[in-house]
Amino acid sequence: MITTHIIISLLLILASAWVLGSLFSRIGIPAILGELTAGIILGPPVLGLIDASSQIELLAELGIFFAMFHSGMEMDPKELLEHIKPSISVAIGGFIIPFLFGFYASWLFGGSVYQSLFVGMGVSITAIAVQAVILHSMQINQTPIGHIIMGAAIVDDILALMSLSILLALAKTGSLQLQVIGMIVLKVALFFGATIAIGHFIMPRFVRKLTDKGSKAFTFAMASALMMALFAEKAGLHLIIGAFLAGQFVREEIVDANVYKALNDRFEAIAYGFLVPIFFASLSFHLHFTWSWSFFLFAGAITLVAIAGKLVGCGLGALAFRFSMSEATIIGFGMNGRGAIELVVATVVIKLSDALLQDGIISVPLLTSDQFSALVLMAFVTTFIAPVTLKWAVMRTCRSDEQAAFCMVWDNAKGQ
């Protein structure tokens, strides 16, 4: 229900995000940091004018949904497949190394084995929606490195959500069940197999006939996105992966040029002009923590290992495919943004923990309130610094190698 309070909240968020985003852009800082700062000022950390509500959360989720569909439209699936091997290498390195770093950091601070496992998993996640927005804002999403980062983020999210299912089953039963793992792998394989078949054989027959009369093309695109989001959820994946893949169905080379331009403009305007600022501002609404040295030491350690783990793990994955050190650094920083998925994962773990404690199956929570708060703070900090560090790495590389593909795109972006 739309109330006066919701209208005022949205007005404050959009106005503050627009002003701060424009101000940050003028001084050479990515605009999404202005949107994050707007959330800090308006939310619980500073003024406390706006709290997380079901309506705000819904709009925030729609923001990453529309952003992922738009990213799918702009990215060439052939380029994604061409870079699939380095993407998988980057994703595996960027998942395992942060997982180990996070596990041992939590264990050293007194966490139980289960707690350390779930903290490690939270640290290892890359938020694909955040990466899509950052790459789009820097206009390097269509370069080879942009395709590798997006491909790796998709694989990373699949690994994280599969790991979550395995760890949850382990916490419930106390043993590793091979049938659970087999079922997860089967569902993911069926999802991607069906997606490839639909995208290659069925959808082109429909999209070539689309016209923009009465916005029917937009309706078709939305229906496709929702259908793929539902399939992704049924496969145990996140709905945004389905939205991204649905965007691939209406890509430029198979849709009438005028229809593609109209769809691209509409999805970009709705996403980046309305819903994405709400998503980034809302991230700060979850920042609730205790003011104690022990908490900040733990949260600081988790944040440092999260950044270092992604940088080392993803960098090693890129170096394995003979990328230069500077390119590996860009990929490592590009994979460092977190976001909403960590909050979803942590919330699921907390709910299961409460149920298991109540039933007497476990005697120690799977995740403490301080560990949950530390993961939320880590997700926010890494989201905040990801565009800054990525921009620094790109500019540093382009000073010595101006002919790199992403450097030429970056120069064009600055010119615009």
Q: What is the pLDDT of residues 160-215, one digit of tens each?
A: 777 877 787 777 766 666 776 777 778 878 888 888 787 777 777 777 676 666 57
Give the model's pLDDT for residue 342: 65
Q: What is the mean pLDDT of residues 295-312?
A: 92
Q: Is the pLDDT of residue 409 over 60?
A: no
Q: Which of 159, 136, 126, 116 is nearest to 75 (CA)?
A: 136
The residue that leads in pLDDT, 346 or 105, is: 105
List of domains in the chain: 4-415 (1.20.1530.20)
Residues 160, 94 contacting (CB under 8 angstroms): no
In this structure, of 24-28, 311-315, 397-401, the range with the lowest mean pLDDT score is 397-401
Six token digits for residue 408:
């030429």
Instruction: Give the CA distances from residue 282 to residues 3, 42, 54, in Å, rounded to whole numbers and listed in that order.
Output: 18, 10, 11
pLDDT value of residue 340: 61
C-alpha to C-alpha distance for 255 and 211, rounded to whole angstroms: 9
Region 320-345: mean pLDDT is 80
Looking at residue 66, its amino acid is: F
pLDDT for 350 equals 75
Lowest mean per-residue pLDDT among 49-53, 176-180, 248-252, 395-399: 176-180
Mean pLDDT of 58-77: 83
What is the distance between the alpha carbons of residues 173 and 286, in angstroms, rounded to a whole number?
A: 31
d(Cα 146, Cα 134) in Å, to the nearest integer? 10
Tell me what pLDDT residue 252 has: 65
pLDDT at 344: 66
What's the whole-number average pLDDT of the chain? 81
Calpha distance 317→147 (Å, rounded): 15
Nearest alpha-carbon partner for 376 in 298, 313, 271, 312: 298
pLDDT in tens, 245-281: 888 777 666 677 788 888 888 888 888 888 888 888 8
Contact 8, 14 (CB under 8 A): no
Cα Rg, the chain, nearest whole Å: 21
Asked if 260 and 278 count as a contact pair (C-beta separation under 8 A), the reply is no
- What is the reported pLDDT for 343? 66
Confidence of residue 15 (pLDDT cuts 50, 70, 90): very high
Q: Which of 52-61, 191-200, 286-295, 339-348 has the lowest mean pLDDT?
A: 339-348
Structure tokens at 413: 């972006």
**Integer angstrom CA distances of residue 223 from 176, 217, 230, 271:** 38, 10, 11, 17
Residue 96, pLDDT > 90, answer yes
Q: Which residues, 6+ apart, have CB-to-CB distance to 81 below 8 Å?
A: none
Q: Are 140 and 166 in contact (CB under 8 A)?
A: no
Task: Determine the pLDDT at residue 55.
Answer: 86
Distance from first CA to last CA of the chain, Å, rounded? Answer: 40
Q: What is the pLDDT of residue 12?
A: 92
Task: Tell me the two tokens of residue 60.
Answer: 């925030």
Its pTM surpasses 0.85: no
Residue 300: predicted pLDDT: 92
